[in-house]
Structures are given as C-alpha cells and as structure tokens.
Structure 1
C-alpha cells in the first residue's frame, strides 16, 4: 500500500512531522459560517438507498472525523476520496458524498484540517488560509488520505482496486498532488484547484510542479472567469503532463468563476456545474473507478 512505503512522497516530506491532537473532533453542522450569504439553490440529496453519516477514521495520532456515504448492499463499491474546500467538511461536502453514493460509490470526506484549527468557528477566509491552510503540511494530509483509503477498503465496503479522488478549490490542488503520490490511483478530478502558489518547507511543491509526475489520468475542470487561477496556468500544467506521457483532460468553462460548483454560494453556475459533474462521473468510470 502507498501509505506503507511513502511511494511518491519524494519532494513532499522535508522533515519528520510533529504529531498533534485533533482540534476538531466532529464535523461542521450545517454550512460553513465563512460565507456572507447562502443561496436559495442549495442542493440537498437524501439518503434513500444509501448509508450516510459521520465516522471516525484511525489516523496516525487519533481518530479523524470524516463523512462517509455508500450504497446499501454488500459491495464492494469503488472508492472516491472527497477532498474539501478550505471551509471544512460541511453540508455541501457531505451532500457531494451522498451524490456519489447514489451513483454507486463509496465516498469518504476526511476533515483534513482537524489538527490545525476548528473551522466550524472561523468566519474569515483570509484567517482560515493564514492560520489553518498554510500551516497544514502536504505530507500530513496525504498520509490522512492514505489512511482514509485503507479504512474505506477495510470498514466501509470499498474496493481498493477501484480508487479515485475528487477535490474542490484547495482540494483540487490536492487532487493533482495525490495523483502524483498514489501509484495505484485510477483517476483524479480537480475542480478549479490552484496550479501555482507559494512554496514552503511544509508545502514544497505546487500542482504545476508535479503535473508531469501524476500516476493516474486527471480531469481538470476550471472557470475561464476565475480571477485567481489564470487559464494559461492550467493549460501549462496540462501540456507539461502530456509531454511526459500523462493523461490530463482539461475543460474550461469560459464564463464560470471560481467556485462554480458550490451551490450554496453566489459563485454557483448551474450549467457548468451539472456538465462538470456528468463529465466527472463519466471520467471515473472510463478509467476504472466504477
């Protein structure tokens, strides 16, 4: 298993990680408080025909809170690791897990920032980025995703031979990096994940840096009106991957802003969100996660 030998972590681990207890011991109830308004078009997916709820995943330094949704029945079902935005595993991320379960997946969203801060109480995105996101080592959340995949296979009716990852915003960056880490990953989907960014000792590489090293085909879904992620940077990463013989399918929605899939925010755009979702499901199945 990847978490046994740190396969693909070269360049991400720079020093032994100090372990700390979890600040968040349970998930956010409701939607994130770090948004000024909630839109009326919020999607709610019921739990009919699936099993869904909060779980605890054994991590290196204690039980990590997570949300899991899986179809009823014996399984095993293909696994999709769901990687949150910067706002925590709140109702939007939980609903995505239920949507995936309805499509036949064992979907698990771990709270990857549970050690660094209590996102249920934080209202300012700038403070979240400064105090939580920038202080979360890449090697830490990569190890947590490995632990989540192992747990899904052993305790949640997941099939480890059909493993995928899907992430939004900062989680989109994670999808790129995890695809460069996990050699047995079948497919990755990045929703408007940053390609560039500051490099630090604990976050030493960007998504663009690892584009040529991905082990799995990757679907990149981006907005042409995203003021923080220039389309040219994503095209550069795609071309870098293709030159290395990797598979990256890039879709840029010309008029879509950042966060166009986030139905609870004003950035939501129904048509690209639905088209991207259908493309994501088709991509997973086409590459062995289905």
Structure 2
C-alpha cells in the first residue's frame, strides 16, 4: 500500500484557523528560536528522516487547531506515544530533532506548540521579554488540555495511547511532572531539569512538589548539580514528597549530574555537556523502553 506523503497528508487535515481567542502562532518555527542565543554548530545534533514519517501536523482543540511536530517510524501502527514538551523557546529545530531521535527508537513523538494562543516565541531576541510577554501568560490548565488533545490525536493516527509517555526540557520538565499527575493514561515520564517548586498563581496553581504523591506513571528526573536555578534542596524536597506517594511516585527517581548546568542536553547551546547529555539520553530511552514496550 502506498503511503500518503506528509505534505499531502497535512493538506487533508483541518486548516489552521484563528478563532475567538485567536491562535497567534498558526505554524511552527523554522530553525532555532532567536532568544536561545548563539547556535553551537559543532555540537548541534541533526537527525535525518530516513525511515520516518515526520513533519508538521494540525491538532484539533476546543477552540481551534494547534500546530505540532510529529515523527514516527514510517508505516508504523500502534507505536508507543511520547509527548515532547518544549523549552521556553517553543517548538523549534532542537525540539523537532528530539522527536526524530525518539522516532528512530520506535516511538511516535509529538511536540505541540503550547504557546500558540499567546504568541510566536521564535520572533523574540530577549529571554526576559519572551518570558514576560508569552511564557508567563500560559495557564497550566490550557497546557494540560492541549497535551490531552495531542494524545487523542496520536491515538487516532497510528499511536498506542495505552503506552503513553511524556518528556520535556526546562519549562517542559516541570510540565512532565504535572501532566504525569493529571493524566491517568501516562505510563512514564522523563523530566529534564524542570523546576520543582515555585510561586502559586491563578495560572500556575500547583507545582511538582504539590502533585508528587499522585503520579499516574513513574517519572525519571534528569538534573544538573550545577544548575543555579534549581537548588539541590528542591530536588531533596521532591524526593521526600515522592516517598510519601503511591506506587508510581515511589518508583520515580532522580539522576543528578554533579557538574552539569541547566540545559545540559541542549546540544545547540553553550550549556551543552556532552557526557551528561549522552548518558541522560540513554537513561531516558531505557526508562521508556522498560515502561512502554
């Protein structure tokens, strides 16, 4: 049977639309987000699409359509699903490449653009402005709902949502913990240096330490011991909270790389630490393989 090319498949999907709330970002960024800083070409990993079905998709949500990136083994049916949650910089080339890496390992990986209603992060050049104008305005409840929609899309398009995982980086690492407590379908998560505590607001009413005891699937936390933004006492607090939880919470664990800074997996940035990044990736794959396959 001939496979419909991605370009033709996308033409059959509902068009990206504006609606009463207004989806500001109706397509994914090309290349890297400017605010991420200088690109380290020597270390940036590029994963090809050979043997994959990969490209931009449109995911229906309650108030319109959300752009996302999807990669999976070509012609796969019933592939385990991993939701990939962006850094603060949105779904740019690094996040797309992470999806392709997971697809090469046998997974359907989907990265929804979770800032689509708030703005286009690829156009920003300054992190403080990006955070103030977009990131700080994204409600956790919206993110949970959009990830639910991404999982539902996966289940209708060749993915096995009975084997659902989630991974995320920085801003997305925090979301991994929250979504693992939110969705009964989650079987495993891998959180890369996501904050564990924080101020509670109307948009962010809880944080990982608040939900640690009620995870639906165990989470592997990959953190840097030299991460100035995530003190080790907050990691210790999360470990203590997990110890008081149910089976999934107790099965969760942390790996802390002593000399690694924040964003040590981001191979396109100066923060990249090859040894920690490569070991963390192998740990993540082993974790998902154990829980989802």
TM-score by shorter chain over 0.5: yes
The normalised TM-score by structure 1 is: 0.91
Q: Deviations over 1:213-237 (max 9, x none)?
A: 2111000000000000012211211
Q: Superposed, which structure 2 residues align to 1:206-285 within 5 Å?
A: 206-245=207-246, 246=249, 247-285=251-289
User: Which consecutive unaligned segments of at least 5 residues does structure 2 have?
Assistant: 1-18
Q: Give the distance between the partners of 1:134 and 1:207, measured in 2 at CA.
A: 17
2:195–2:230 CA contact under 8 A, matched in 1? yes
Task: Give a deviation string over 1:106-130, Cα, whole Å, max 9, x none.
Answer: 0000000010111121111111111
Query: C-alpha displacement at 1:162, in angstroms?
Result: 0.3
2:27 counterpart SS class: coil
The 2-side partners of 1:35 and 1:236 are apart by: 30
Equivalence map 1:120-269=2 (5 Å): 120-155=122-157, 157-245=158-246, 246=249, 247-269=251-273
Q: Give the Cα–Cα distance (whole angstroms) in 1 for the partners of residues 131 and 190 of structure 2.
A: 23
Distance 1:168 1:35 in 2: 13
Work out whether 1:80 is the aligned partner of 2:82.
Answer: yes
Q: Could you tell me how far apart the structure 2 residues matched to 1:127 and 1:51 are?
A: 35
Structure 1 residue 74: Cα displacement: 3.5
Q: Distance in 1 between matches of 2:37 and 2:191?
A: 25
Which residue is 2:53 aligned to? 51
Shift of 1:243: 1.9
TM-score, normalised on structure 2? 0.90
**Partner SS, residue 261 of structure 2:** coil
Distance in 2 (alpha carbons) for counterparts of 1:237 and 1:36: 31
Give per-residue Cα distances to partners, 1:161-212, cap 9 Å, x unaligned. 1000000000000000001101121001100000111211111111111111
Structure 1 distance, partners of 2:161, 2:106, is 15
CA distance in 2, matches of 1:25, 1:223: 34
Contact kept in structure 2, 1:34 and 1:125, CA below 8 Å = yes
- Which secondary structure does the structure 2 equivalent of 1:34 belong to? helix
2:166 aligned counterpart, secondary structure: strand
Cα 1:207–1:19, aligned 2, differ >3 Å: closer, same or farther? farther
CA RMSD of superposed structures (Å): 1.2
Moved more, 81-90 or 197-206: 197-206
User: 2:53 touches 2:75 (CA, 8 Å); kept in 1?
Assistant: no
Larger RCO, structure (CA 8 Å, separation 6 or more): 1
Contact 1:168 1:191 in 2 (8 A): yes
> Which residue of structure 2 aligns with residue 63 of structure 1?
65
